[in-house]
Chains A and B, each alone.
Chain A
Amino acid sequence: MSSYLLKRVMVLIPVLIGMTIIVFSIIHAIPGDPAETILGQKATEQSKQALREQLGLDKPWISQYFDYMGDLLKGDLGTSIRTKTPIAKEIMPYLAATLELTAAAMLFATFVGVNAGILSAWKQNSWFDYTAMIIALIGVSMPIFWLGLMEQLVFALKLHWLPSIGRMNQRDPVESITNLYVIDSILAGRWDQLWTVIKHLILPSIALGTIPMAIIARMTRSSMLEVMNSDYIRTAKAKGLSQFLVVYKHALKNSLIPVLTVVGLQTGALLGGAVLTETIFAWPGVGRYIFEAISSRDYPVIQSGILIIAFIFVIINLLVDLLYATIDPRIQYK
């Protein structure tokens, strides 16, 4: 298994290099002048030209690429053109914010999705099954933007149950240590703040988690149905085991492999794709960080931001692959 791990990690290197080449060529193909967008309509031509020279934007992109890779090998992720701050320093709070949101969204998606899928399969063709699958269908096609604003309207404005934006109550801010506010408020022993932070997480994580939840529900249902029709389940039933035990003990584990794949892929997708949720809920995450970098043609941030996301994505995939074996020992690594 350790040789398998080593092999997988070695494969990462060409993947990430390929990634940088693709991202680099695409962003340099987009029209739009960084100097113009960064300095704004009101800057003089002279200072725009000076900025271009300073950033090496007047050089051919091939040589810009090698400059960038050279820095990267030295561990330098570059400096944001817009804020003029080193990216490695700047990106951490954004990553932490997205990580917290993604984790909450996936907890919600996995918990609700898996259970809804199981129940649907268990009570196949019942009213619950139909309702759940219709909700799943709507969930998959739900525009996040609309869902987010509706949540705010109902749960924040009408009912006043939950806050509508941000990560915490700004009037009583959480001291940031790890930038994961759930953990920070536990470290500080501030249970009231923990509760506030969790409340801030609920609406955005439902908005973000709805699509994966629906996908997971449908995947679990079909995978469960397949397993439920297999011989060993029939045997288990024949032995007189209770429905609950059959479903949750015997069937669930074997139907989890495809579900786990979906969970892994969706987590990766959420990491980079949370832009809309982060915008509506004013969540200072990495999606918005990169999105704003794209609008201002902040090349170094786009490159390094996407590279980091890609890196996390492949790591998650690796973890999912490793988890397979713990669920199903028949899967072997070579």
Chain B
Amino acid sequence: MKKWGSLALTLTLGAGLVLSGCGGGNNASSNNGAATSSPASTATAGASTQDTLVVGRGGDSASLDPAIITDGESLKIDHQVFDSLLEYKPGTSEVQPSLADSWEVSTDSLTYTFKLHPGVKFHDGTDFNAEAVVFNFQRWSDPKSEYKFEGDSFDYYDSMFGPDGSRVIKDVKAVDDLTVQFTLNQPQAPFLQNLAMTSFGIASPTAIKEKKENFKNEPVGTGPFVFKEWKHNDSITLEKNASYWKEGLPKLNKVIVRSIPDNSARFNALQNGEIDLMEDLSPDDLSTLEGNSELQKIERPPFNVAYLGFNFKKKPFDNVKVRQALNYAVNKQAIIDAFFAGQAQPAVNPMPPSLWGYNDQVKDYEYDLDKAKQLLAEAGYPNGLPDTVTLYAMPVSRPYMPDGKKVAEAIQADWEKIGVKTVIESPEWATYLDDTKAGEKDDIYMLGWTGDNGDPDNFIYTLLDKDSIPGNNRNFYVNEDLHKILVAAQKETDQNKRADLYKQAQVIIKEDAPWIPLVHTTPLLAAKANLKGFVPSPTGTEYYSEVYFE
């Protein structure tokens, strides 16, 4: 026993010697080894023979059934595996045909008839047809559906087409094999816009029936890529759909999407050739990227807003003069120069300028400390605010706000100059969302939003209407006039009239100043210089089907 013990120890130490010997001694010669294995299958594959794309992103998917998820990371994968009836034109939020070739709308805007693309097959070989569309919509709308599995909820369906009891879609029926008809309970202006969302990707009914709960781990759609393997928190592998219905696509043979949580590590992996495309480049790394001729910068169109929200439950932030005063005391351009490497523009309205209905007549509160002091005095605070203000700054990095705490500190310094003392608090993310939703602890909070579907409703109504309390209206801001306009805009089907309504809404919001809109950022991606055909989408989900290597 004694001998065996010492032997075991010796062996352990010996194995350690061998292992660290490999690590240390062979390093010089392993130079070539590394080149043939990981970093540079790119280099050897080089000229146009590379057909595998490796993407690096910050987080993993939660689930692969597009109907039950709301997080962007999950949508990105589903976007490759599923097609919806309609889709967004790459790089825009404009709707174009996808599985539906064409459609007709009745004059009362209550009936939509879609002609489906013929000859499309799901990845499992079954036919895509009108019945499949009906099956999917029934699954999402029927709370008692036997294909709604334990723990599932169809949030985007509820949120876009109304929750059970106030559904927008009354009925979906198959007229013939390739014609499907939607009947609505009431007109919905962004109806087509909504149908194009990844969440409403059409899944194979056969696969759902067979796989049941497991469908969320083994998705089957009609998309350009077929799901192959999911190693949780590590990688998701997709393979080319050889019989994809869109001619000549996809151009790649394989896509591997890796989760690399740390921004710097992800950038290191890109520089080392272990990945070909990375999301969420930190603005700090921009100069390194621009100095490297083997890499390229990709800019996603700004489609977000970062803002500070005033908590109307707290005094004196229910006073419009105080809110306007603080608006005047934020130097947005200085913040952009310091913390966004210039990759952002000052925000004036609660929605980005690229979105239709944006009101460019609205003037921002310019950086003017005298004006701010004057307004504070008018509000009854000639010497600044008597109490220290609790400013909630985001503890996590988001595309619209890479470093919330630093930005908060800059604002804190500005406000100090007009006699407003702030204390910055940054609790952990889940607590942060809870606290701001309850509105008991924070006076002013920082948050942001990325658009889902290219409709102003998705910004203004979602974030500032009284219906969104409790929820995304963490201001507790209620303005009946605004509410009337926003509800009217939801029911209006003429886009020009809707645009006018949203323009009016922006004027009211500017005057009431429930927010300090801070910035619209241009989120950055980085890729190998020879990667082509990647069109960044404003909503953050791109097709990899057009991507190829030169």
Residue of B34, B38, B156 most packed against chain A (CB within 10 A): B38
Q: Which residues of B contact A149 (CB under 8 A)?
A: 264-265, 268
Q: Which residues of A contact B256 (CB under 8 A)?
A: 170-171
Note all chain B residues with C-beta closer than 8 A to A125: none
Chain B contacts of A46 at CB under 8 A? 158, 163-164
- Cβ of B434 and Cβ of A33 under 8 Å apart? yes
Q: Contact check, A156 vs B268: say whether CB atoms are below 8 A apart.
A: yes
Task: Check A45 for interface membership: any CB of B closer than 8 A.
Answer: yes
* B472 contacts the other chain (CB 8 A): yes
B234 engages A42 (CB within 8 Å) = no
Q: Contacts A42-B155, A44-B158, A110-B13 given: A165-B430 contact, CB under 8 Å?
A: no
Cβ of B49 < 8 Å from any Cβ of A?
A: no
B1 x A31 contact (CB < 8 A): no
Q: Which of A67-75, A279-287, A310-318 contacts B (4 or more CB under 8 A)?
A: A279-287
- The segment from B4-12, B89-97, B402-410 that touches chain A is B4-12
The answer to whether A128 has its CB under 8 Å from any CB of chain B is: no
| Identity of the chain B residue whose Cβ is nearest the Cβ of A110 in the assembled complex | B16
B45 to chain A: closest residue by CB:
A171
Q: Which residues of A contact B37 (CB under 8 A)?
A: 163, 169, 172, 192, 195-196, 199
* Residue-wise interface mask of B (416-455) relative to A, using a CB-CB cutoff of 8 A (1 in contact, 0 not): 0000000000011111011101000000000001001000
Say whether B38 contacts A42, CB under 8 Å. no
Which A residues between 274 and 327 are near B, CB-CB below 8 angstroms? 279-282, 284, 288-289, 292, 295-297, 323, 325-327
B-side contacts of A297, CB under 8 Å: 430
Q: A157 CA to B6 CA in the complex, in Å?
A: 41
Q: Is B274 an interface residue (CB 8 A)?
A: yes
Roughly how many angstroms separate A37 CA and B70 CA in the complex, as a whole number? 11
User: Once the chains bind, are A160 and B235 in contact (CB under 8 Å)?
Assistant: no
Asked if A232 is at the interface (CB within 8 A of a chain B CB), the reply is no
Q: Does B363 contact A (CB under 8 A)?
A: no
Does A79 sit within 8 A of B, measured CB to CB?
yes
A202 nearest CB neighbor, chain B only: B23
Chain A residue at minimal CB-CB distance from B449 = A41
Are B261 and A327 neighbours in the complex by a CB distance under 8 Å?
Answer: no
Report B476-488 CB contacts with A as 1/0, cut-off 8 Å. 0000000000000
Flag B14-47 by CB within 8 Å of A: 1 or 0 each: 0111011011000100110111011101000000
How many Å lie between the Cα of A112 and that of B38 in the bound state?
28
User: Is B185's beta carbon under 8 Å from chain A?
Assistant: no
- CB contacts (< 8 Å) of A36 on chain B: these are 430, 433-434, 437
B226 within 8 A of A: no
Min CB distance B365 to A, Å, is 26
A108 an interface residue at 8 Å Cβ cutoff?
yes
Which of chain B's residues have a CB closer than 8 A to the CB of A173?
A: 237
Within 8 A of B (CB), among A29-50: 30-34, 36-47, 50
A166 at the interface (CB under 8 A from B): yes
Chain B residues with CB under 8 Å of A50's CB are 153
| A282 and B470 contact, Cβ closer than 8 Å, known pairs A163-B38, A171-B38, A171-B41 | no
Q: Does B159 contact A (CB under 8 A)?
A: yes
* Complex contact A43–B265 (CB within 8 A): no
Q: Which residue of A lies closest to B72 (CB)?
A: A40
Question: For B262, what are the chain A residues with a Cβ–Cβ distance below 8 Å?
Answer: 279-280, 282
Within 8 A of B (CB), among A110-127: 110-112, 114-115
Stretch at the interface among A10-18, A83-91, A129-137, A236-244: A83-91
A162 at the B interface (CB under 8 A): yes
Please, which residues of chain A bring their CB within 8 A of the CB of B264? 149
Cross-chain contact of A84 among B20, B27, B216 (Cβ < 8 A): B216
Indicate the size class of the contact surface on chain A. 35 or more
Which chain B residues (144-162) contact chain A, with CB distance < 8 Å?
A: 149-156, 158-159
- Does B233 contact A289, Cβ atoms closer than 8 Å? yes
A161 close to chain B: CB less than 8 A: yes
- Interface membership of B71, Cβ < 8 A: yes
A47 and B5 form a contact (CB under 8 A) = no
Band of interface residues on B = 35 or more
| Cα distance, A222 to B153, chains bound together (Å) | 60
A39: chain B residues within 8 A (beta carbon) = 70, 153, 155
Does B16 contact A90, Cβ atoms closer than 8 Å?
no
A90, B15: Cα distance in complex, Å: 31
Q: In whole angstroms, how far apart are the Cα atoms of A114 and B12 in the complex?
A: 11
Query: Is the beta-carbon distance between A90 and B155 smaller than 8 angstroms?
Result: no
Chain A residues closer than 8 Å to B452, beta-carbon distance: 42
Check if A43 sits within 8 Å of B159, measured CB to CB. yes
- Report whether B232 and A284 are in contact in the complex, using a CB–CB cutoff of 8 Å: yes
With A93-B231, A104-B19, A157-B272 as contacts: A31 and B153 at CB distance below 8 Å: no
Chain B residues with CB below 8 A from A43, complex form: 70, 153, 155, 159
Instruction: Answer whether residue B271 sits at the interface, using C-beta atoms and an 8 A cutoff.
Output: yes
A107 at the B interface (CB under 8 A): yes
**Shortest CB–CB separation between residue A280 and chain B, in angstroms?**
5
Select which of B41, B63, B71, B269 is within 8 A of A164 by beta carbon: B269
Is B260 positioned at the interface, with any CB of A under 8 Å from its CB? yes
Contact B274 A253 (CB under 8 A): no
Interface membership of A54, Cβ < 8 A: yes
Assess whether A295 is in contact with B430, with CB atoms less than 8 Å apart.
Answer: yes
Known: A44-B155, A104-B19. A164 touches B268 (CB 8 A): yes
Contacting A41 at CB < 8 Å: which of B5, B12, B433? B433
B239 vs chain A, min Cβ distance (A): 12
Q: Tell me the complex Cα distance, A46–B258, Å.
A: 33
Is A160 in contact with B39, judged by CB distance below 8 angstroms?
yes
Do the beta carbons of B5 and A280 come within 8 Å of each other?
A: no
In the complex the two chains form, is A284's CB within 8 Å of B30's CB?
A: no
A60 contacts B by Cβ under 8 Å? no
B265 and A44 within 8 A (CB): no
Interface residues of A in 149-207 (CB under 8 A from B): 149, 152-153, 156-157, 159-167, 169-173, 176, 192, 195-196, 198-199, 202, 206
Tell me the bound Cα distance from A112 to B233 in angstroms: 31
Q: Given the complex, which residues of B lie within 8 Å of A156, measured CB to CB? A: 39, 268, 272
Residue-wise interface mask of A (90-116) relative to B, using a CB-CB cutoff of 8 A (1 in contact, 0 not): 100110010000001001101110110
User: Is B52 close to A, CB under 8 A?
Assistant: yes
* Pair B231/A107 contact, Cβ less than 8 Å: no
Interface string of B159-173 (1 = CB under 8 A from A): 100011000000000
B52-75 near A? 1/0 per residue, CB < 8 Å: 101000000011000000110000
Q: Is the CB of B260 within 8 A of A253?
A: no
Residue A147 at the chain B interface, CB threshold 8 Å? no
B261 touches A199 (CB 8 A): no
Does A79 contact B431, Cβ atoms closer than 8 Å? Answer: no
Q: Is there an interface contact between A160 and B272, defined as CB atoms closer than 8 Å?
A: yes
- B152 touching A84, Cβ below 8 Å: yes
Residues of A within 8 A of B6 (CB): 253, 327
Q: Give bound CA distance, A204 to B38, whole Å.
A: 16
10 contacts between A and B (CB under 8 A): A40-B71, A97-B234, A110-B13, A161-B34, A164-B265, A164-B272, A165-B258, A165-B260, A172-B41, A202-B23
Q: Which residues of A contact B (CB under 8 A)?
A: 30-34, 36-47, 50-51, 54-55, 79, 81-85, 90, 93-94, 97, 104, 107-108, 110-112, 114-115, 148-149, 152-153, 156-157, 159-167, 169-173, 176, 192, 195-196, 198-199, 202, 206, 253, 256, 279-282, 284, 288-289, 292, 295-297, 323, 325-327, 329
Other A-B contacts than A44-B471, A326-B4, 14 sampled, CB-CB below 8 A, are A41-B433, A42-B156, A51-B151, A94-B232, A111-B16, A162-B30, A163-B38, A170-B54, A176-B231, A192-B37, A280-B262, A280-B265, A326-B1, A327-B5
